[in-house]
Amino acid sequence: MWFHKMRLPDGTITPGRADCEALLPVFGITPDLFAGKSVLDIGCNDGFYSFYAERSGARRVVALDNYAQHPDGLDNFRLARTAFGLGVELVIADIQEGVPAELGTFDVVLFMRVFYHLSDPWRGLRNAIAAVGERLVVESHIDRWAGERYPAMRFYPNGEVDGDRTTLWGPNVTLFMELLQKRFGSVASKLIAENRRVVIHASSPRA
């Protein structure tokens, strides 16, 4: 089963439910974000954003996922990488355990649709931040029920979000802003998908 909908070079369109091409402008992702940069795509799944980054002129792209929640994604990734004829590096690892030290840091780190699936989301985000050289892009489910006056996060033990038992957490936007503003000089957020999700661009990591 595919998650990413993408057009392969032979014209085949993969049957994913996430129309990634259409989401690029929503997420503020353009070729300029990647041109000449090193890119780490955490939670790469089927690989659309990794492949888009390399096709946009990134000088190095590493795709990282443990595929625990979407095992089909590994075969999908390899099929698409072969179809595109690209050199994206695949690393099978759990971001909660950290980015393998030998990979170093990256100009751009994508942390999209990951945070709220993790059993230890703060550890995962902290490890993602540690790999950032210039910019971090986060996209996540949020829970407006939690309010915005204080940073907060709701726990879903029983698949309360659309029956999806892999969605474990509902952070509010204030939580993300508080966490990221301590570590980046510039943090900008945008509510999307009827205010049920947020995309955040954070840049200029603090020393």
pLDDT tens-digit map of 74-128: 999 999 999 999 999 999 999 999 999 999 999 999 999 999 999 999 999 999 9
Answer yes or no: are the C-beta atoms of 137 and 125 closer than 8 Å.
Answer: no
Residue 207 has pLDDT above 80, yes or no: no
The pLDDT score that the predictor gives to residue 146 is 66
Tell me the pTM. 0.96
| Pairwise CA distance, residues 186 & 182, whole Å | 10
Please list, in sequence order, all residues whose beta carbon lies within 8 angstroms of the beta carbon of residue 23, skipping any fewer than 6 positions away.
none
pLDDT tens-digit map of 123-177: 999 999 999 999 999 999 999 876 788 999 999 999 999 999 999 999 999 999 9
| Pairwise CA distance, residues 205 & 136, whole Å | 9
Please write down the HEC assignment for all residues of 94-122.
Answer: CHHHCCCHHHCCEEEEEEECCHHHCCCHH
pLDDT tens-digit map of 15-71: 999 999 999 999 999 999 999 999 999 999 999 999 999 999 999 999 999 999 999
The pLDDT score that the predictor gives to residue 206 is 84
- For domain 4-137+199-205, the CATH class is alpha beta
| Pairwise CA distance, residues 194 & 198, whole Å | 10
Domain ranges in the chain are 4-137+199-205
- 174-189: average pLDDT: 96
| Pairwise CA distance, residues 37 & 56, whole Å | 10
